[in-house]
Structure 1
Amino acid sequence: MSEPQSEIKKLSERSREILRQIVDSYLATGEPVGSRNLSRVLPMALSPASIRNVMSDLEHAGLIFAPHTSAGRLPTQSGLRMFVDGLLEVGDLSTEERRKIEAQIAVRRTKSLDQVLTEAGEMISGLSHCAGVVLAEKQTARLKHIDFVPLEPTKALVVLVDEDQNVENRLIGLPAGLPPSALTEAANYLNAHIRGLTIAEARQAVEVELGQAKAELDKLTQKVIKAGLAEWSGSLDDRKSLIVRGQANLLKDLTAIEDLERIRQLFDDLESKRDLVQILGLAEQGEGVRIFIGSENKLFSLSGSSLIVAPFHDEERKVVGVLGVIGPTRLNYARIIPMVDYTARLVSRVLT
């Protein structure tokens, strides 16, 4: 049994139902709810006094809290997480919503993958009324030629030409004591092995061959080859394309100064691309929809936002990106979870 389910099982039926109603009220209104109002909506007959006793237990367990001096209660992030993991009844998309998503994504034809993903981000932002986010592997052109140009004893320029005749240069460090012939040997070796491959494919193929000692190259030349490919593979930020659409949706219906400050902090968070890339990268490690709530992750610890994302795959079932939405913790999880899941599945279908 999973940990969330196990924790939920520890609660009595009335505790689970009262927690569900408190969270439902919070998601619908953002306002705390008291025992008298709960007694009117609970499917079981409980007096306000009995409800207050249960609420006291839930508060002691860290699942709800009383804001200010209010008699009502709101869910804590732990309570919200327990609700999402075990009490939430996920709905299904309407026929109209499915039609809109399919019309936007299913027909790729003359569109590039970047266009498809950008439109997917815009579409899911519009349907969810949140910010849409997409993180994907950058589409890399096939390689045609690579060369090493010595600049000084410990530096060289790597010149790469792709099949579209685009030329790019990168500076790399050279190992001490490298003979001049090593750069020529490294270029010859790479040009015999990388033509027609992407950088990622070339790096993998060369690493396998060097690891199996199939290449008769000295150690210094191997270091040059690995340094050149590593530089071109780039950092995590360089290899990933991040698309964020619909940030303006997050400014709607704000009523308090603290709400404006929260959204300002969220915008600052979104500018920190590296942190967001790392969070989305976690979603690439599993199947299905992943939900990150508030301070459960470093990125949204101050803005108190939630992230709902799902991975999409290429024809080899390899995860090549994730998509989803960012919004306040008061998201309509029951509606957005299936929306993100269905959109990711459609994008995967387009890529196969």
Structure 2
Amino acid sequence: MGRRGPTAVADPRPAISRYNFSMLDPRAQTLLKTLIERYIVDGQPVGSRTLSRFSGLDLSPATIRNVMSDLEALGFVASPHTSAGRVPTPRAYRLFVDTMLAVHPLEEAVHQLATQVQTRLQPAGPQQLVASAAQVLSNLSQFAGVILTPRRSQVFRQLEFLRLSEKRVLLIIVTPEGDVQNRIIVSNRDYSPSQLVEAGNYLNAHFGGQSFDEIRNHLRGELDSLRSDMSGLMQAAVEAGSDVMADNKESVLISGERNLLGVEDLSSNMDRLRKLFDVFESKTGLLQLLDVSSRAEGVQIFIGGESNLVPIEEMTVVTAPYEVDGRVVGTLGVIGPTRMAYERVIPIVDITAKLLSNALSQH
């Protein structure tokens, strides 16, 4: 499975990510790619000897050091005070994921991953499927899974009234996505089952596919023509339905936050850890990031330090939109360290988005 670079989206990345990388010669690109790959694997600053061993280039240590100095001057690598080796910067990771990384997992591996995702996304209601997707992303990546739930329709597909007791009626609302919402209506009088069926049939026949605000406006002119014993139930149903739809807002679900406590890059610094859990607590930044990525096609990679949407330099968010019947309704992704195995996480996010889209569309 090949992969294009992340699609350009209107996110507030600084100009640093638009840098003209073509000025790097092939030798510098090879050494930088090797450095990033070794740092992802080992988590330690990479020295000249390691680069000489793994790059496949026949270069002297002095030449490698000169190239590293040039890369450092350009902002692609940095030298920690405690080591003679170097580590990649956010600018380097952006170059890596945009132009150096090729995700080509074996067909067998893709099939195995798809099977795992499908197994976890068992047939369920839309809300359960979305919640399961966040858990799938967390379990398979061993980082945190995040998903922007779809803003459900403000219209209804079908209404039904069910008598609970003498003056208590259960209003059942079915949305076009198949979500079922219930509200209890306390009425002024007792309605027979046949009257409740009549009221439901009337609303479904005349107002199915409309919002409750539209129903309210129409009913103002029609209540006089309705039997007085039914108008009260109709008005109560409209008010209860409006309350239901007012709750149908986008929200962010996160699964596996505790996985990140075991990631040294994120948890070794208390200030960094505090910022990380501030992100999870407020969710405002994640909501903005996921909303931005929903307007682009395919997998997006947001790298801390070069995207204003990611508040922690050592954090990366890999996202992809998901659809219902060809219409984008939300975004899902993985939150992890910048030092992650991108070639493994990208297919997890990509395949999960596709399979969730299929599951929601078939529901």
Given that residues 8 and 16 in structure 1 are in contact (C-alpha distance below 8 angstroms), is that contact kept between their aligned partners in structure 2? no
Q: What is the TM-score when the length of structure 2 is the normalising length?
A: 0.69
Q: Which residue of 1 aligns with 2:311?
A: 301
**Which whole-Å deviations, capped at 9, do the CAs of 1:182-230 have from their partners, x for residues lacking one?**
xxxxxxxxx899832364xx78x99xxxxxxxxx9xxxxxxxxxxxx99
Q: Which residue of 1 aligns with 2:322?
A: 312
Q: Which residue of 1 aligns with 2:338?
A: 329
Q: Give the drift of 1:26.
A: 1.5
Given that residues 32 and 74 in structure 1 are in contact (C-alpha distance below 8 angstroms), is that contact kept between their aligned partners in structure 2? yes
Please give the residue correspondences for 1:81-92 in structure 2 after superposition, counting only pairs within 5 Å.
81-92=94-105
Separation in 1 of the partners of 2:265 and 2:100?
A: 29
Aligned counterpart in structure 2 of residue 102 of structure 1, from 82, 96, 118: 118
Separation in 1 of the partners of 2:314 and 2:266?
A: 15
Q: Which residue of 2 aligns with 1:149?
A: none
**Paired amino acid for 1:291:** I
Alpha carbons of structure 1 residues 193 and 296: separation in structure 2 relative to 1, 3 Å: farther
Given that residues 318 and 346 in structure 2 are in contact (C-alpha distance below 8 angstroms), is that contact kept between their aligned partners in structure 1? yes
Greater length-normalized contact order (CA 8 Å, ≥ 6 residues apart): 2
Separation in 2 of the partners of 1:97 and 1:262?
A: 32
Q: What is the TM-score when the length of structure 1 is the normalising length?
A: 0.71
| Secondary structure, aligned partner of 1:52 | helix
Gap regions ≥5 residues in structure 1: 146-160, 169-190, 207-215, 217-228
Aligned counterpart in structure 2 of residue 125 of structure 1, from 126, 131, 138: 138
Given that residues 35 and 72 in structure 1 are in contact (C-alpha distance below 8 angstroms), is that contact kept between their aligned partners in structure 2? yes
Q: Which residue of 2 aligns with 1:195?
A: 207
Alpha carbons of structure 1 residues 18 and 193: separation in structure 2 relative to 1, 3 Å: farther
Alpha carbons of structure 1 residues 244 and 55: separation in structure 2 relative to 1, 3 Å: same
| Secondary structure, aligned partner of 2:319 | strand
Separation in 2 of the partners of 1:319 and 1:14?
A: 41
Alpha carbons of structure 1 residues 79 and 165: separation in structure 2 relative to 1, 3 Å: closer
The CA RMSD measured in Å over matched residues stands at 3.6
Q: Give the drift of 1:233.
A: 6.8
Please give the residue correspondences for 1:252-331 in structure 2 after superposition, counting only pairs within 5 Å.
252-254=262-264, 258-302=268-312, 304-315=314-325, 317-331=326-340
Identity, in percent, stands at 36
Given that residues 30 and 55 in structure 2 are in contact (C-alpha distance below 8 angstroms), is that contact kept between their aligned partners in structure 1? yes
Aligned counterpart in structure 2 of residue 14 of structure 1, from 27, 31, 54: 27
Separation in 2 of the partners of 1:103 and 1:231?
A: 36
Separation in 2 of the partners of 1:272 and 1:45?
A: 51
Alpha carbons of structure 1 residues 294 and 193: separation in structure 2 relative to 1, 3 Å: farther
Q: Which residue of 2 aligns with 1:166?
A: 183
Alpha carbons of structure 1 residues 198 and 87: separation in structure 2 relative to 1, 3 Å: farther
Separation in 1 of the partners of 2:210 and 2:256?
A: 32
**Paired amino acid for 1:252:** G
Please give the residue correspondences for 1:116-265 in structure 2 after superposition, counting only pairs within 5 Å.
116-140=129-153, 142=156, 163=173, 166=183, 195-197=207-209, 199=211, 239-254=249-264, 258-265=268-275
Separation in 2 of the partners of 1:291 and 1:193?
A: 47
**Which whole-Å deviations, capped at 9, do the CAs of 1:126-184 have from their partners, x for residues lacking one?**
11010001112144572789xxxxxxxxxxxxxxx76355269xxxxxxxxxxxxxxxx
Given that residues 134 and 323 in structure 1 are in contact (C-alpha distance below 8 angstroms), is that contact kept between their aligned partners in structure 2? yes
Given that residues 144 and 195 in structure 1 are in contact (C-alpha distance below 8 angstroms), is that contact kept between their aligned partners in structure 2? no
Kindly tell me the number of residue pairs found equivalent between the two proteins: 289
Separation in 1 of the partners of 2:266 and 2:348?
A: 29
Q: Which residue of 1 aligns with 2:348?
A: 339
Alpha carbons of structure 1 residues 239 and 198: separation in structure 2 relative to 1, 3 Å: farther
Gap regions ≥5 residues in structure 2: 9-14, 160-170, 174-180, 186-202, 216-220, 222-240
Given that residues 266 and 273 in structure 2 are in contact (C-alpha distance below 8 angstroms), is that contact kept between their aligned partners in structure 1? no
Given that residues 263 and 303 in structure 1 are in contact (C-alpha distance below 8 angstroms), is that contact kept between their aligned partners in structure 2? no
| Secondary structure, aligned partner of 1:296 | coil
Q: Which residue of 1 aligns with 2:229?
A: none
Q: Give the drift of 1:124.
A: 1.4
Separation in 2 of the partners of 1:118 and 1:268?
A: 22
Separation in 2 of the partners of 1:87 and 1:311?
A: 23
